[in-house]
Amino acid sequence: MLATQTFPKQRRLRKRKEFVYTQTQGRRVRAGCLLGLITHNSLGFCRLGLTVSKKVGNAVLRNQIRRRLRELFRKNLKVKAFPVDLVIVAFPGTSTALLGEAFSRLVRKMRVSA
């Protein structure tokens, strides 16, 4: 795999306290089946955290949704430019077919309110 196609650890929210802080203090942006929770950081780049509950579907579907969201994040240069921590929550009824459109709307709403 090429270095540009990886999802490095520095781009991820990895600790529970980072998720909790973003979920409690973050600004909420809703786009279809996704909810984005956003807090500013001082790192100069965007970090991503994903939450897909068991209500969304079986383990296979949840993992497909996570993989697809990571790919959309990795390929979207507009999101990476924001110095924010972003937690994306997928709601029940989410399908991998609708993720691209919902993610694009989420980014547009983030950009407008940033």
Average pLDDT over residues 84-107: 88
Prediction pTM value: 0.86
Average pLDDT over residues 49-72: 91
Mean pLDDT in the chain?
85
DSSP 91: P
CB burial class (10 A; 0-12, 13-18, 19+) of residue 95?
A: middle
Average pLDDT over residues 11-20: 90
